[in-house]
Amino acid sequence: MRDESEIREQYEFLSEQLESEEMSHEGVRQMFTYYKRAIGWVLEEEHM
């Protein structure tokens, strides 16, 4: 399992990519949204 800092770093990277102008294609945006949501859930569960 990855450590928390690595997961947070990946979450921030995906957030930035999702907001990027280059990610305007709806399918790509949707995929990143799913990944971002999944990583957020992992972080929440570890801190409950």
Q: What is the 3-state secondary structure (H, E, C) of 4-47?
A: HHHHHHHHHHHHHHHHCHHHCCHHHHHHHHHHHHHHHHHHHHHC
The pTM of the full predicted model, rounded to 2 decimals, is 0.45
pLDDT tens track for 1-46: 568 888 888 888 888 877 777 666 777 778 878 888 888 888 777 7
